[in-house]
Amino acid sequence: MTALLLQAIAGRAENEPQATALIGAQGPWSFAELQTAVTVLADWLLPRVLDGESAALAIGLWAENSPEWIIADLALWHCSERHRGSIAAVPLPGFFSAGQLAHVQRSTAMRWLLLAEDCDSPLPVVASWATPIAGLRLARLADPTDAVAPSWASDTVKISFTSGTSGQPKGVCLPAALLDEVIGALARRIQSGLSLQTLAPHLNLLPLSTLLENLAGVGVPLLLGRPVIALPGAALGLQGSSGLDPAQLLQALHQHQPGSLILLPQLLQVLV
């Protein structure tokens, strides 16, 4: 069974192919272009990451907010749908320390990483290849000596990590059915209370590795057929994990005129 979100994107690509799905620093992507990119990347990835592999695979995702991040995430979900139980996406938060990232790799036995061309890998790399999607490459990671065997449920499509109260990242295995349920419920709630026009477009302010932004800031708008603006932090006045240039943020909001945002309290204070 194909995930609800993937079905919705495919439907938009067929019925409204020129409608804008994503907007990045290099320009817009239509739903037809998004669907093609997701399919092409998934088709390219599967024979490479599954070659000789029998165990479940964790594939990391490391990049700033961008259309390419979203394409990679959706392609991994598509891969998991086609080989259920074989592949789980692991979005890596940019604010994790080297030790925290190493813990994520050990606890998931992560051997592969999709990352932006302009980003250095946060983990040791054995080899890397350009993907069919400009700006994305695939890296084969060095195996950690103390990695554990993958043990997540067969319906897991994503493993989301938070830093945890002890500083050691805590991972949650997320099945496709749960992601569909959450995205669908949020979309229905929004449809019942607001006109769709007020949601066009959505601007990602939080990192896409954050589950809240990933589901509510990407999955919900795309399910509703609304554009998603995904820009690197520097374009929005976001500096590292805690710095902020309020004037640049306000300028970006004025330029892009988003219909919706997900805000932390400190960001909200800048806007009120």
73 vs 62: CA distance, rounded Å: 10
Query: 91 by DSSP, 3-state: which?
Result: strand
User: Reduced to 3 DSSP states, what percent helix, strand and coil does the chain have, rounded to the nearest 5?
Assistant: 40, 20, 35
Give the number of other CB atoms < 10 A from CB of residue 4: 18
- The residue ranges of every structural domain in the chain are 1-272
DSSP state of 260: B
Token readout for 78 is 């598509």
Residues 179-200: tens digit of each pLDDT: 999 999 999 988 876 655 555 7
Amino acid symbol at 96: F
105 vs 143: CA distance, rounded Å: 9
222 vs 207: CA distance, rounded Å: 17
Cβ atoms of residues 79 and 118 within 8 Å: no
Token readout for 250 is 């306000």
Query: 64 by DSSP, 3-state: which?
Result: coil
Report, at the CATH architecture level, how domain 1-272 is classified.
3-Layer(aba) Sandwich (3.40)
Per residue of the chain (272 residues), what is the pLDDT tens digit? 458 999 999 999 999 999 999 999 999 999 999 999 999 999 999 999 987 665 689 999 999 999 999 999 999 999 998 887 679 999 999 989 999 999 999 999 999 999 999 899 999 999 999 999 999 999 999 988 777 777 778 889 999 998 765 668 889 999 999 999 999 999 998 887 665 555 579 999 999 999 999 999 999 999 999 999 999 999 999 876 668 888 899 999 999 999 999 998 888 887 77
151 vs 243: CA distance, rounded Å: 38
DSSP state of 132: S
Residues 128-161: tens digit of each pLDDT: 999 999 999 999 999 887 777 777 788 899 999 9
CA distances from 204 to 23, 130, 198, 217, 221 (A): 10, 26, 16, 6, 11
